[in-house]
Structure formats: structure tokens, C-alpha cells
Chains A and B, each alone.
Chain A
């Protein structure tokens, strides 16, 4: 018997069609959480697949280091799923998870300190020796992507913690003002204010090194 995944000649389209037809409709978070509470291990995998990128992006921006960010993601998922009563009926699981992950990341950052890779001493490396900032429009002289990422990390590290968390939850966590306000327990006006000053500082830092 031919297994769909082993067909080579002209089998791909039919395999894809079968896969699509048999795929169950995606369940919403509440359904997955109910399955998880009932002991369904697969539900945990699906929740992880659904939110791991978002959680990791937030944690990475707050910590600037992959391993630490994954630790924060792990810690955040555990805390979010063991304290589900803290969010039920008040917010979406995504919002709850990002709140816990971002707090876990900040806790981790305080314990370990942001890694030396974010040291502002390294920022001078990204400045050109001829005194002109590099431009993103010139591939030949662009910063390498990793360097640019490090530059953004360094810029974020200059922000006060409250501004950094607010900015990251909005820019990387894709939360609305209302959701950020709920997560942090602050007013929308404060969210707006923190975002304004966070971006102003980030721009000021980056403008000395790259052309925005």
C-alpha cells in the first residue's frame, strides 16, 4: 500500500488535498484549554505551537539573549497554565500568557542581568569610522543583520523597564493599547505616553548609528 508521504510522481497535490480535507478545524484557545484541563497532552502542544513565537519574541526583546528568552518562555507557559484562574473571564489567553512571559523575562533579566552582549560598550563598533551613520538603503554598507539586531537590543536596553515592557508588548506582542493597559494595570493614556517616550529614545539612540 502506498503511503501518501512516500509518493513521488504526481502524488504531491493529491496528498495535500487529502491532508487539507482531513485536517480538523482549528480550535479556539478556550477549547484547547478545556482539552488541556481534561488531560489532553496534544492540547498543550497546540497551544505551544500557537503562541511560542509571540512569547519568544517578547521575551527575546526584553532579554536580548536566545537562551534566556527560551527560559522565560518556558517559565511563562508553566506559570500561565498553572494559574489559569488568574485570567479566566477577564482576558484572552494570549494576553494572559504575554503578561506572564514578559514578567518572567523581566524577573530573569533582573536575576541574571542583561547579558554582556548588550553592553553599551559594544555600540561604538557599529559606528562608521568616517563619522557618517550607515544607511539601510545601501546593501554594500548595511550593517549585517545580526549587528542590526544587536543594535536594536542595545537601544532597548537603554529604556527604563516600564517603557521597555510597554513598547515590546505593543510592537512585538502585537497587543492593542487596551490590551497593554490591561496587562500592565495602567491607563491607556499611560500606555500612549510610555510608547511615545520609548520610541523617542530608541530613535535618538539609533539615529546616531543608522539612518532611519
Chain B
């Protein structure tokens, strides 16, 4: 194993890590093996580090759902669009560009269509009348939940949302865990349930939206 020699020689203990990882030079490896033969503590450390490295990959991080991967990629694309690092086509698909007023765009379309019709008539006056060319379809605007801030929403419409989050209703209070009783929990739009820390032994205060008395179901 070759390694550049610009660095200071590693400490003897550190060499044990390099030995475990097979990153030592031949001379360093021989020195470590000599030491291991007469130093049980060092040999135990090497075995322990090997055991740790065997354990580590057997407990990988939880796998994100396809939805979360897709959302992350969308966020990357949007971020690159903002930074100007992706082509216009992608920018239009992700982030709404600054647009001229609707009346201006409509006038522009009609002007273009009229000019095209006029051009056909001038170049070929004997040709039968043809419909004006259809203006190119505008890019379909796409927004993420970060682009949308819903201020108010009727409760009945909550399940019709295609983007954005249902706003929290009413004023928010600061409460101690013992002051809160959970009546029911509903999954959010992603199907995720919140992790509630409502145990009395948890000293952390929490922000809660007090229950609207009119929402309380009849007993």
C-alpha cells in the first residue's frame, strides 16, 4: 500500500485503525503485527474495532419513501432553477417565472395570430382560408408546498388540496405536556402521524392549537 509521505507519521494508536482498514504501508503493517503479538490490549482494540465495522452496515438508516425521494429531487430542481443552474425548460416546469400581466400576454398572442394570418393572405391570396395557427401551449405551472402559503381553508375542502398544507386554525398556546389531552390523531397529507411528546415527565413545553369547542363531537 502506498501513501504519500508528506504527512507526519501517525501515532502508534492511530496505526491500529489504519491496520483494521488495510490502509497501512507494508512497513507500518509489519510494525503493528509485531505489536499485536505482544500487546493483548492493542489486539483487543483491533478486534473491537473490527466488530464495530461489521455491525455498522447491518443497521442502515431508514429508507425514505419514493414520495420523499421525489420531493427531494423536486426541491433540488427548484433550487437549481433559482440559482440559474438549470435550463429554461426545467425552470418553467418547476418555478413560476416572472410573468407579464395576463392582458399583455393575451394581446401578444392575438397579435401573433393576426400577423400569421396576414402573412398567409399576403403570400398566397388565392389559397383557401385556413384557421389561424394555434399559439403554442404555455408551460404548465407547477408549485410545491413551499411555494404556497394557505391562509384560510374551509374544513370541508381540506381533502381536496393538491398542494400546500392545511393551516392551523385559531390562536396557538404554549402548554406543558401535562396540560394536554390528545382526543384524536389524523395522518397528515403525506400519511404521516406526528410524534407526540405528551408524557408528563417530558419537561419541554409545546405549542398547541386549542380545540375549537364547536368541533367537539357529541358524547
Contacts and interface: CB of A to CB of B under 8 A. Distances in A.
A41 interface: yes
B87 A81 contact: no
Contacts, number: 132
B83 interface: yes
Interface residues of B, number: 49
Contacts of B71: 70
A196 B204 contact: no
**What's the dominant secondary structure at chain A's contact region?**
helix
A152 B86 contact: no
A149 B61 CA distance: 7
B112 interface: no
* Size band of the interface chain A makes with B: 35 or more
Contact of A74 (B4, B11, B15, B79): B79
B10 interface: yes
Q: Which of A45, A171, A188 has the most CB of B within 10 A?
A: A188
B21 interface: yes
B177 interface: no
Contact of A148 (B6, B57, B59): B59
Contacts of A73: 72
A159 interface: no
A61 B57 CA distance: 12
A7 interface: no
Contacts of A199: 17, 48-49, 52-53
**What's the dominant secondary structure at chain B's contact region?**
helix
Contact of A196 (B17, B61, B73, B85): B17
Interface of B: 3-4, 6-11, 13-18, 21, 23, 45, 48-49, 51-53, 55-57, 59-62, 64, 68-69, 71-73, 75-77, 79-80, 83, 85-87, 89-90, 195, 197, 204
Interface of A: 39, 41, 44-45, 48, 52, 56-57, 60-61, 66, 69-70, 73-75, 77-78, 81-82, 116-117, 136, 145-146, 148-149, 152, 170-172, 176-178, 187-190, 192-193, 195-197, 199-200, 202-203, 206-207, 212
The 8 lowest CB-CB distance pairs between A and B, nearest first, are A39-B87, A187-B7, A60-B61, A196-B17, A78-B79, A193-B14, A189-B10, A192-B14
